[in-house]
Amino acid sequence: MIEADLILRGARLLTLGPLKDERPRVGVAAGDVGAVNDGFVAARDGMIVATGHGRTHERFTRVEGALDKDVGGRVVMPGFVDPHTHLCYAGERWEEFATRRSGADYLAVLAAGGGIHATVRATREASDDQVLALLRRRIGDAAELGTTTIEVKSGYGLEPEEELRQLRLLARAKAEAPIDIAVTYLAAHALPAPFTDDRKRFIREATRALERVVDEKLAEAVDAFVEKGVFDIEDVRPLFNAAKKAGLAVTMHADQLNDVGASAFAARIGARSADHVAHASADGIRALARAQIPAVLLPGSAFFVGYAPPEARRFITARVPVALASDHNPGTSPLEGMPTAIALGVTLCGLTPHEAIVAATINAAHALGRGGRIGALLHGRRADIVVLDTDDERELAYRMGAPLVAEVYAAGRRVA
């Protein structure tokens, strides 16, 4: 007998679960949201215990205090998974935002000691309590917009001790967060001033910090900004090799503004995902397809910085699994929430609305190494569920900015 403490029924249910064996969605599956009309989802103790359609749920036992609700034909779908954000910062970059006109300008501002460095200064000046309060607010805002798992990077400390400070603050924010946080050590985001003439020494020190990251269980993955004039492949190779040896996943800001061969490198090194990839070469895309490594598209940064957005069709036709993320950060993507990322993924990158939903749920879960646990409404998965204020999920891509997220459940508990 199935016992449930949460039942949402009478739904247009998007299960995102059409495959027999779980793997990143490509081909036909890249656009299949697994829709079931008059569907239901039932959960117990934070896990999904059944999904289906019609009245079979009537046989389930509702435990005392259960929430049992007819959603009146509205869309019920997995909570969004945001696999790439930089929420751990203080200060804003209004001036830079107002004056920036192109991708090249972005790197020029950075080279002149602004950009990322400006946020590093503001974050260092802020107290722990201030940074924690900002993190809490941003995580709460993401949950309000339907995100139930969010990756958050360090990366505004730069020097290893400051990065460790960020990671420890993230651990505190994670412990009390209403949604799941996947923490990433962004070890090489920009070269801090004391290391200007010695990037090898910087990478050595960042690599040495891995030991403490692992000992204190501060991160699941290591990231780097592999970009012209920032860090090249040879710079970051020892860092990534050490990270893999230490049991951490590897991910990277790859070919965001220039093709530096980072997508192919991500494939060679067995990265968990390759992110941005707006300027990935045909070879890079083929390599990602062969290795079935998710490409995380970040249309927000292309939109705000003004460079050519990643062309989703190049990845979809090559059978690269495509994911979407907000890339929320104060420099390139002050974008809030996955519904906007979905809308931009369609309007700027050329995904179909259903591909964008796959990219923001199950494929994003794969980009975080969680493809078997979240991202779909299937028996045995965490009960991370969103109810939309519409009976047609394509509205997410169409009515940009509309308040479509009506209810959010994380591990079966209502969080927004």
Q: Considering the complex, what minimum distance in angstroms separates the CB of residue 163 from Fe ion?
A: 15
Q: Considering the complex, what minimum distance in angstroms separates the CB of residue 146 from ligand NIG?
A: 21
Q: How far apart are CA 272 and CA 293, in angstroms?
A: 7
Site track 117-156 with ligand NIG (rule: CB under 6 A), x = hit: --x-------------------------------------
Residues 319-358, interacting with ligand NIG (CB under 6 A): 327, 329-332
Residues 366-395, interacting with ligand NIG (CB under 6 A): none
Helix (H, G, I), strand (E, B) or coil at 302: helix
Q: Which is nearer to ligand NIG, 296 or 410 (CB)?
A: 296
Q: Which is nearer to Fe ion, 26 or 116 (CB)?
A: 116
Q: Which two tokens stand for residue 172?
A: 């505190």
CA-nearest of 361, 363, 382, 386 to 373 is 382
Q: How far is CA 129 from CA 67, 183, 213, 300, 411, in A?
A: 36, 19, 21, 29, 27
Q: Which partner, Fe ion, ligand NIG, none, binds residue 115 by CB below 5 to 8 Å per kind?
A: ligand NIG
Q: Which is nearer to ligand NIG, 202 or 225 (CB)?
A: 225
Residues 240-269, interacting with ligand NIG (CB under 6 A): 253, 256
Looking at 45-53, 207-215, 235-243, 320-328, which segment touches Fe ion (CB under 5 A)?
320-328
H or E element at residue 369: none
Beta bridge partners of 185: 222
Q: What angle do CA 206, 210, 216 make, to 5 degrees?
A: 135
H or E element at residue 207: helix 199-208
Q: How many alpha carbons fall within 13 Å on the CB side of residue 39?
A: 21
How many residues contact ligand NIG, by CB under 6 A?
Answer: 13
Helices and strands of the chain, counted as H and E runs: 16, 16
Q: Considering the complex, what minimum distance in angstroms separates the CB of residue 141 from ligand NIG?
A: 18
Site track 293-312 with ligand NIG (rule: CB under 6 A), x = hit: --------x-----------
Residues 62-121, interacting with Fe ion (CB under 5 A): none
Q: Which is nearer to Fe ion, 15 or 333 (CB)?
A: 333
In the complex, residue closest to Fe ion by CB: 327
**Is the sign of the CA dihedral 307, 308, 314, 319 positive or negative?**
positive
Considering only residues 5, 151, 227, 327, which one is a binding residue for Fe ion as defined by CB under 5 A?
A: 327
Q: Which is nearer to Fe ion, 74 or 93 (CB)?
A: 93
Sequence-ordered alpha helix ranges (H) in 73-127: 94-99, 103-111, 116-125
Considering only residues 10, 34, 39, 115, which one is a binding residue for ligand NIG as defined by CB under 6 A?
A: 115
Q: Considering the complex, what minimum distance in angstroms separates the CB of residue 257 from Fe ion?
A: 12
Helix (H, G, I), strand (E, B) or coil at 104: helix
- With tokens 């039932």, the residue in question is 42
Q: How far apart are CA 5 and CA 220, in angstroms?
A: 31
Phi, psi of 68 (to 5 degrees): -125, 115
Q: Which is nearer to ligand NIG, 34 or 331 (CB)?
A: 331
Pairing mode, strands 180-188 and 80-82? unpaired
Considering only residues 225, 231, 304, 315, which one is a binding residue for ligand NIG as defined by CB under 6 A?
A: 225
Q: Which partner, Fe ion, ligand NIG, none, binds residue 225 by CB below 5 to 8 Å per kind?
A: ligand NIG
Q: Considering the complex, what minimum distance in angstroms separates the CB of residue 62 from ligand NIG?
A: 45
Pairing mode, strands 385-388 and 75-78? antiparallel
Q: Considering the complex, what minimum distance in angstroms separates the CB of residue 119 from ligand NIG?
A: 5
Q: Which is nearer to ligand NIG, 256 or 363 (CB)?
A: 256
How many residues contact Fe ion, by CB under 5 A?
Answer: 1
Are 95 and 138 in contact by the 8 Å Cβ rule? The answer is no
- With tokens 């969605």, the residue in question is 25
Q: Does 151 bind Fe ion (CB under 5 A)?
A: no
- The residues that touch Fe ion, with contacts defined as CB under 5 A, are 327
- The residues that touch ligand NIG, with contacts defined as CB under 6 A, are 86, 115-116, 119, 225, 253, 256, 301, 327, 329-332
